[in-house]
Amino acid sequence: MSGSKMALGELLSLTHGFIGILLIVGTPWAAAELFALSNHDGVKRLKLVTLGLAFAAFLSCIFLAGPTYLGYYPAARNEILSGATPWVHEVLMEVKEHIGLIEPMLLFSIAFLVWYHADSLIEDKSTRSLITALLIIAFLLAFAVMGMGAYIAKTAPVR
């Protein structure tokens, strides 16, 4: 960052990371709503939380990560590849990119299950268990991606 002016790449990267934090916080929130589910108000909250998570993942992983990677990351990538730790790009960035494509699909699937089974979700323990397992996977993926992103940014920040 030059002076007090933030570059567009930095703003995109910062927003992408912030939404990643929302995903890390939001998936346990959705799980808590699911565990406490006892009435239709809880189902409404769960529907909103899961839809918000799906939208946030899509926004972050597609609309923010794509332009950041294509427009601003090449200089950082070249810096990483020519430095002492080229594996940071060759391994971490590649894994991060692919998880970033899975995360929105996973969260949209969770939202779909919640909305589709909304009328029976309070009593349906097997669907609730499936959604809980998917939320745990979504949390672990988001947490892993955040860690990889932090390490990549430490190695060569987006400018």
**Residue 159: pLDDT band with limits 50, 70, 90:** low
Quick one: which of 154, 158, 142 has its CA closest to 11? 158
Per-residue pLDDT tens for 3-53? 566 788 788 888 988 999 999 999 999 999 999 999 999 999 999 999 999
Quick one: which H or E segment has residue 121? none
Top pLDDT among 53 and 99 is at 53
pTM above 0.95, yes or no: no
Residue type at 131? Answer: I
Distances (CA, A) of 16 to 12, 39, 68: 6, 34, 9
